């Protein structure tokens, strides 16, 4: 019998031009790209294959493209192994990928929703007004404190947005607020404070206008029963009913990603193997830093799929 495992799905930042090339003409990957292109009325396969990078990195493209790539890898896994995860989760945008994998939404339903989410987020804060930064080497309590001090000193918005691992927290807010917080946090002992190449302050209160637009769109979105639990970002809870899913996705847009707790919640369910499904290796690395006992791997191409399958026994 195979070991109990969970899938985690990456968010923005893991996209690269050609990220599905290694799959060649795998039928599930080809099918997913055709489906995505039809749902959005453009050639998603070409955008992934040839870019250009500047287009791929636009939030309005990145979010649907990462959803597509994650589902392509998930379908390839299911076709090759037939092994269903005991649970799933996704980092920020990845939560939508997890819900598609679990059957709550079809890919064709999720893609326009995710593009709308991306457009709303970009429109909420003009490019250059907001910022995000990764704070390394400080625990989350110190980061929260530093953000509060920076907000008090400047009158600007700045908050902890992603709790990624015990010593890595991403902050978000206005550019002035984030700059001040970085200065204070470095003085408080942070090893590094790195501004991130993003176009909006995701998961901060500045995203509230985007969240309200998304809430209206979610109100008309139907959700089917989940085939396995999905641990959400905002409450670190597995919600199954449509009203609960809508509410969690609404609040997720302007609330923090509690990733450390999400990984801990997966382990509390008896899961020892965490497989990152989709491009990149960020979440597999974070899982190990959250809990060294967890065994993590990736499913991003045929070779890694084979390795991950063997790992499960």
Task: Return d(Cα 208, Cα 204) in angstroms, integer.
Answer: 8
Dihedral angle sign, alpha carbons of residues 312, 263, 240, 39: negative
Task: Give the helix/strand (H/E) hosting 65.
Answer: helix 59-81
3 state DSSP class of 216: helix
Q: How far is residue 234 from each of residues 22, 101, 146, 250, 257, measured CA to CA in Å?
A: 34, 19, 22, 10, 6
Q: How far is residue 204 from each of residues 78, 125, 178, 240, measured CA to CA in Å?
A: 35, 11, 11, 25
Residue 205 annotated as catalytic: no
Beta-strand relationship, 87-90 and 295-299: unpaired
Q: How far is CA 163 from the centre of its chain?
A: 12
Residue 26 annotated as catalytic: no
Task: Return d(Cα 46, Cα 32) in angstroms, integer.
Answer: 13
Task: Return d(Cα 138, Cα 142) in angstroms, integer.
Answer: 6
Q: How far is residue 166 from each of residues 66, 138, 176, measured CA to CA in Å?
A: 26, 8, 26
Contact 231, 265 (CB under 8 A): yes
Give me the count of residues in the chain.
Answer: 313
Report how far apart the first and last C-alpha atoms of the chain are (Å, whole number): 7
- Say which of 26, 91, 203, 273 is annotated catalytic: 203
- Say which of 14, 92, 199, 304 is annotated catalytic: 92
Catalytic residues: 92, 203
């Amino acid at each position: 019998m195979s070991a109990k495992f969970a899938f985690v799905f990456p968010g923005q930042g893991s996209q690269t031009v050609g990220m599905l090339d290694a799959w060649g003409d795998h039928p599930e990957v080809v099918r997913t790209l055709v489906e995505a292109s039809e749902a959005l009325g453009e050639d998603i396969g070409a955008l992934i294959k040839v870019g250009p990078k500047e287009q791929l990195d636009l939030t309005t493209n990145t979010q649907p493209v990462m959803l597509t790539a994650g589902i392509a890898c998930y379908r390839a896994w299911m076709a090759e192994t037939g092994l269903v995860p005991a649970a799933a989760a996704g980092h920020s945008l990845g939560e939508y990928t997890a819900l598609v994998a679990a059957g709550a939404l079809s890919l064709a339903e999720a893609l326009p929703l995710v593009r709308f989410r991306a457009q709303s987020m970009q429109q909420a804060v003009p490019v250059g007004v907001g910022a995000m930064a990764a704070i390394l080497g400080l625990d989350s309590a110190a980061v929260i404190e530093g953000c509060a001090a920076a907000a008090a000193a400047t009158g600007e918005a700045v908050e902890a947005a992603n709790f990624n691992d015990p010593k890595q927290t991403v902050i978000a807010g206005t550019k002035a607020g984030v700059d001040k917080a970085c200065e204070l946090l470095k003085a408080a002992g942070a090893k590094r404070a790195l501004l991130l190449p993003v176009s909006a302050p995701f998961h901060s209160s500045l995203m509230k206008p985007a969240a309200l637009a998304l809430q209206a769109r979610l109100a008309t979105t139907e959700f089917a029963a989940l085939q396995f639990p999905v641990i959400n970002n905002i409450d670190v809870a597995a919600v199954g009913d449509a009203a609960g899913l809508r509410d969690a996705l609404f609040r997720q847009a302007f609330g923090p990603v509690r990733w450390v707790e999400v990984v801990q919640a997966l382990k509390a369910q008896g899961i020892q193997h965490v497989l990152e499904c989709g491009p990149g290796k960020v979440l597999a690395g974070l899982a190990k830093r959250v809990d060294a006992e967890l065994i993590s791997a990736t499913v991003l191409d045929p070779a890694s799929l084979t390795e991950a399958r063997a790992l499960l026994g």
